Structure 1
Amino acid sequence: MSEAEDLQAFALNIQQDVIARADAAEDGALRAEAFAELMFEHLVDAGEIDDGIPCAVEGRGIRCSGYFLSEDNDRLDLFLVIPRLDGIASSVPKADVDAAFRRLSAYLEKAAAGLHKEREEALTGYDMSRAIWEARDDLSHVRLFVVTDGLATVEQIESTMFGSIEVSSHLWDLRRLHRAVSSGANREPIHVDFPKLGGSPVRCILASPPDSGYRCLLTMLPGNLLVEMYRQHGPRLLERNVRSFLQLKGKVNQSIRKTIIDEPQMFLAFNNGLSVTATGLKLIDHGDGTADLLAADDFQIVNGGQTTGSIFRAWRKDKVDASRLQVPLKITEILVDGDIEEIAPRISQSANNQNKVNMADFSSNHPFHRKLQELSRSIWAPPATGMQRQSRWFYERARGQYHDALAQNRTDGERKAWEAVHPRSQLVTKTDLSKYEHTWSQLPHIVSRGGQKCYLDFMDHVENRGSFEPDEGYFERCVARAILFRRAEKIVSRQKFGGYRANIVTYALAWLSHHTAKRVDLQGVWATQQLSPALEAFIETLSVHAHEHVTTPPGGQNVTEWCKKEACWEQFRERSIHIPANLEAELLSRDKAHVAGSTHALEEQTSVAETEQVARVAAFPAQTWFDLAAWAKDTQTLQPWQRSLSFSLGKLAGSGKPPTRKQAMHGEKIIAEARSLGFRG
């Protein structure tokens, strides 16, 4: 196919993906939000951003479609989408792009000046505007993104300053998005030209172990060169780092910062430096084991994210002279016969010894995802009620698999037949899965932290489960939870609350999971591919309660931040909401739920440590729990749910039954807390 044909097909895919996400709704606002969500996912996969939160604000001279603020409030990304959704690779007028950047810039200025004070608190735009206003004194860099599915002709947009804050503009049009998606590496490689960066080549010691597939360069990099690299490329420098640096909160980070500010001359002695992978190094080899490094392609810091971020922030915020710092640097060039995707993670995992390495970051090839993909390609879903055709739910463990599979069908007829079997509305991504599973695991505060953080937390759960392998039953229940979540999204959208749909949905369904003890008939949902009228009606009721709860945070907190806190979930979990008799009649008995596997999910797979904890709690006599419950009631020291659980643990012990993993976890905490408060049982 020619480039024009590729772009045409890509534009059509975007259009159809958005229509599937918006459930074919004609509502322009809903489609714009779905388009924004899809574009954020593409930018995350391209390594351009950490995450994005859809949030539409429009007013006189201002527009914004979403934002993302780093945890230390140092970097703000603002987005404005221009969705054409015509399914053709058409041009976007330069005037439209220029106007988009002007309106986004105007929104930044108004938000930093206190725009939220003029807005209604219950609307999503209020939180975004307030967050920007609260971060205004901490911000050092703002990136403005205009994203469109049209073809733009703007070549370059210069950075500007907003007070002391650098503001850079980034245009992502159909061609750039397509290149990122189809490049194989799924991101734009970083090219570093050292003479342009710092005025001269970098002298290195060179080593080339035989038959290794790589060669290494050792050098000292002046801190100001590192600052300039990070200023130009930001977190994209750290894409292959197993522990991306996001904030200055850990003890190690504060120690690095203290050395940079107070003892820059000691930095070389105290710091382990950076490990970098690269390809296509341009060298002047002196033949004596040394070389001058001129340039490098695909430059990635795989260890040293904390060092890089700390130096940059000290330069930006504390006005440190970074040229006084000497940073040890090891560059590993992966040669033609080496596998960078296999070698780079191993370098990163081996080199990272400052903090615990998060092994889940390199997880698209994890056996869990591979098995789920395998199941999704072989299991037929039952036809929906009233339909005859069976279909499949397509699990996408790596971005673009769905479109690649679709493109293998050459003719329009073949593509239509394939899409009939694999409808876009039944596409599930890794981040989708983590959101559905964590919601049912009663972790709505984690889900509310955004797609990437939820996914990494979910993968930590998978890692901690050890040898858990999905089977057909697990896959079917996953799909049932997907149907439950997606239908809840439609129910909430229909009520036009004005914002916070994602938070309302996850909190409502987490309450349902908790208060029904996960006894919803997921196998029945799988069998019919839909929810019962009683369940849909109750989700609508729950969503009203969830909306009221999340939008009235105590102490006037930011709603978005409130939803991320465990205290928010703990309070909503205790809310009393009557479950209607017609829904109660549909719930499985506890025994049937256990036999059917409806309560079986990752959280029920116990590790060795959890098995030992269950055994410890089960060893307490029933009378101890009964005495504790009575003591707590008399002294009014524990929360009602803790007293209730103590009594339940007593009944289990009396009947010789072990507690669940979750009951054991809470039970051990209750015993410890009660004894610290004076309980002597």
Structure 2
Amino acid sequence: METEELKVFAENLQQDVLSRADAVEDGAMRAESFANIMFEYLRDAEEIEDGIACFIEGRGHRCSGYFISEDNERLDLFLVLPRLEGTVVPVPKSEIDQAFKRLRSFLEKSLDGMHRSLESALEGYDMARSIWDARNDLSSVRLFVLTDGTAKVDRIDNEMLGGIEVSSHLWDLQRLHRSSSSGSLREPIEIDFTRLNGAPIRCLAATPRGGGYRCLMAMLPGSVIVEMYRDHGPRLLERNVRSFLQLRGKVNQGIRKTILDEPEMFLAFNNGLSITASGLKVEDNGDGTVALHSARDLQIVNGGQTTGSIFRASRKDKVDPVELLVPVKITEILSDGDVEKIAPRISQSANNQNKVNIADFSSNHPFHIAFEELSRSTWAPPTDGLQKQTKWFFERARGQYHDALAQNPTPAQRKAWEAIHPRKQMITKTDLAKFEHSWSQLPHIVSRYAQKCYLDFMDRLDARGGFVPDGEYFREAIARAIMFRQTERIVSRQKFGGHRAEIVTYSLAWLSHHTAMRVDLDAIWAQQSMSDALAGFVETISTHAHEHVTNPPGGQNVTEWCKKEKCWDIFREKHIAIPAGVEAGLLSREKGNTRKKPEALGGALSKKDQETIDAVTEVPSETWFGLSAWAKDTNNLQPWQRSLSFSLGKLARASKQPSRKQAEHGEKILAEARRLGFRA
């Protein structure tokens, strides 16, 4: 049974890669598609923060991708060995050993400045240069070999490369399948405190009645924190709502200063760690205390900055962590408790050192649930003269597509189900964030890659105030997905030689801005494709986008340049003539009546309030009417904002001034519309 399940998993993986490669460029670029799917599995398993596919191969070295943490302290390097045979295929140990050897060789050469011998236009140059730039901050490197074959490898001990610790990690078909089918993609972290500390940890213990948890209070020496982070890294912080923040803020600087200058005051100044776990091994001492031996599924839900700062001080500043005492609260989620619900609430309550907009990043967010329901019930129009209709499958959680496919027991039934739900019409949460942010003219955010783009998308969604998608939003979102994927194919055909992801998002953001978002999304949905005229214009835009992103000022790293808002600010002003055929296909804007001179408003207002009212009053009525119609045509802004725009237009037409509150909101609405390309 297990072998059969593994074969099905291998076949699904093969088809996913082929489908995604076909969606990019007629079956090509399979290695890149394979790499990106592997990164998704590892992200969902919370093994990595993210991955950037980037291929380089030379004499004795080879690499398929990388990712550097925000603080430049941790580097992940990847090498993929795709088989794509759709069945269980062994990979020789010699090939695995050679892969690790070549990956390590690439690391060593990059640290020695290999980028200086590479052409700067190549993606491999950016990867090698990024490693070189981070060389003085790096304290740990993880080498990942990823394959859809089955492989066995002897334990590879960690090594030191100068002051950098290098560890090796193999993910083969069996490990991927185990992770994705275990019910919890993440491999639980187990901590042996007796081993790390040399003895059990003495703790105060309490179990509130009916709470579904018990709490332990303890003091951990900094050396235990360092060893925990050395073994597991950012995986310790998966449920920490602030784990994605950089370790360079004022709070971290203060922690570091205390560690370096006043280590004896660390206990007094630091709030410590809040930890959750679902399994503790303890020994009752009979006096209200317990001896903690080990913990399973351990997570630091508050104290990521403290953890990272102690580890960094130990590795980079050579501080003896034994001298640091860290207060710790460990909450064990008992069998009648729900770790996925309790842990985030603990994290949200405990995280008050930095201001954070708390958003629910889980797949159970109401937005994702509603979008999923729409994807299951909405039929897409038939294409290419066919009568057959299909659906776009939104995968709210990893594996939903394959689970739904598996509900069809016979090959004929599976084929029929796939005909309705083509793999190339499956999109994930991170896909959706990328599509939406590109059209929202945030290409610099999209260029920060999947996880950061998704977090930003959810943060903005949360700020929007409980927005729940409807059928109109779903159809337009899928139209934006169609545009994005068709643009990927267009860019790939031009063989620019790299940076396709950045070129695609910058091209679509420019199109969105310079058409004021008036591309007819309903037409794209109806045709399930861009028009020939629009596709041809996107090709033109992409050549300009390529020229822009690959020529950063001052010889900057292209990848880092594209992440900067200034990069977008400059490209946004690029003039590219919009062809008449494209212009004719844009949505029209209603025009209001002519402007009338407003009259003064009395009342006790602050100078700033009066200036805001005066500025909004000066806006012609036709601008407000046009903005309201534009927002309706493009499905931008919220209904109340469109309504207020129309009301402001009526006030301007009647030569009346708005209230303070109307003016305040109107100023923000107009600024946001203009950011998105609206022109009166």
Pair in the same fold by TM > 0.5: yes
Match in the other structure for 2:199: 200
**Contact 1:488–1:505 (Cα < 8 Å) also in 2:** yes
Structure 2, unaligned stretches of length 5 or more? Answer: 592-608, 624-647, 676-680
> How many equivalent residue pairs?
623
* Deviation string, structure 1 residues 552-609 (Cα, Å, up to 9, x no partner): 00111100111011111011010110111111111111249xxxxxxxxxxxxxxxxx
Q: Scaled by the length of structure 1, what TM-score is found?
A: 0.88
**Contact 2:76–2:143 (Cα < 8 Å) also in 1:** yes
Matched, 1:547 2:546: yes
* Equivalent-residue separation in structure 2 for 1:143 and 1:652 (angstroms): 62
Matched, 1:278 2:285: no
AA matched with 1:395? F
Match in the other structure for 1:135: 134
* Deviation string, structure 1 residues 57-108 (Cα, Å, up to 9, x no partner): 0111111000001122111110000011111011111011001001101111
AA matched with 2:33? A
**Contact 2:204–2:288 (Cα < 8 Å) also in 1:** yes
* Deviation string, structure 1 residues 18-73 (Cα, Å, up to 9, x no partner): 11111177888610000000101111111111110000001111110000011221
- The alpha carbon displacement at 1:406 in A equals 1.1
Give matches, 1:288-327, under 5 Å. 288-327=287-326
* Equivalent-residue separation in structure 1 for 2:288 and 2:247 (angstroms): 38
**Contact 1:25–1:31 (Cα < 8 Å) also in 2:** no
Amino-acid identity (%): 67
- The alpha carbon displacement at 1:137 in A equals 1.5
Match in the other structure for 2:238: 239
* Deviation string, structure 1 residues 114-147 (Cα, Å, up to 9, x no partner): 1111111111111011111111111111110000
Matched, 1:664 2:671: yes
Cα distance, 1:490–1:399 mapped onto 2, change above 3 Å:
same
- The alpha carbon displacement at 1:434 in A equals 0.5
**Contact 2:616–2:667 (Cα < 8 Å) also in 1:** no
Matched, 1:225 2:224: yes
* Deviation string, structure 1 residues 296-329 (Cα, Å, up to 9, x no partner): 1101111111111110001011111100011001
- The alpha carbon displacement at 1:467 in A equals 2.8
Match in the other structure for 1:414: 413
* Equivalent-residue separation in structure 2 for 1:395 and 1:370 (angstroms): 10
Match in the other structure for 2:640: none
- The alpha carbon displacement at 1:261 in A equals 1.0
* Equivalent-residue separation in structure 2 for 1:221 and 1:460 (angstroms): 34
Cα distance, 1:616–1:397 mapped onto 2, change above 3 Å:
farther
**Contact 1:443–1:510 (Cα < 8 Å) also in 2:** yes
Cα distance, 1:179–1:617 mapped onto 2, change above 3 Å:
farther
Q: Scaled by the length of structure 2, what TM-score is found?
A: 0.88
**Contact 2:24–2:485 (Cα < 8 Å) also in 1:** no
Give matches, 1:273-672, under 5 Å. 273-360=272-359, 362-591=361-590, 616=613, 619-622=616-619, 661=668, 663-664=670-671
Cα distance, 1:16–1:660 mapped onto 2, change above 3 Å:
farther
What secondary structure does 1:67 align onto? Answer: strand
* Equivalent-residue separation in structure 1 for 2:386 and 2:115 (angstroms): 49
* Deviation string, structure 1 residues 344-364 (Cα, Å, up to 9, x no partner): 111111111111234225332
AA matched with 1:664? A
AA matched with 1:370? I
**Contact 1:618–1:653 (Cα < 8 Å) also in 2:** no
* Equivalent-residue separation in structure 2 for 1:9 and 1:554 (angstroms): 49
Match in the other structure for 1:674: none
* Deviation string, structure 1 residues 426-455 (Cα, Å, up to 9, x no partner): 011110001010110011011001111111
What secondary structure does 2:427 align onto? Answer: strand
**Contact 1:70–1:246 (Cα < 8 Å) also in 2:** no
* Equivalent-residue separation in structure 1 for 2:52 and 2:120 (angstroms): 17
Cα distance, 1:616–1:452 mapped onto 2, change above 3 Å:
farther
AA matched with 2:276? T
* Equivalent-residue separation in structure 1 for 2:610 and 2:168 (angstroms): 53
What secondary structure does 1:217 align onto? Answer: strand
C-alpha RMSD of matched pairs (Å): 2.3
- The alpha carbon displacement at 1:155 in A equals 3.7
* Deviation string, structure 1 residues 387-428 (Cα, Å, up to 9, x no partner): 211011011111111111111111111111111111110011
* Equivalent-residue separation in structure 1 for 2:284 and 2:311 (angstroms): 31
* Equivalent-residue separation in structure 2 for 1:557 and 1:287 (angstroms): 63
AA matched with 2:228? M
What secondary structure does 2:168 align onto? Answer: strand
Match in the other structure for 2:3: 4
- The alpha carbon displacement at 1:287 in A equals 1.8
- The alpha carbon displacement at 1:515 in A equals 0.5
What secondary structure does 2:29 align onto? Answer: helix
What secondary structure does 1:619 align onto? Answer: helix
* Equivalent-residue separation in structure 1 for 2:24 and 2:230 (angstroms): 41
Which stretch shifts more, 149-158 or 219-228?
149-158
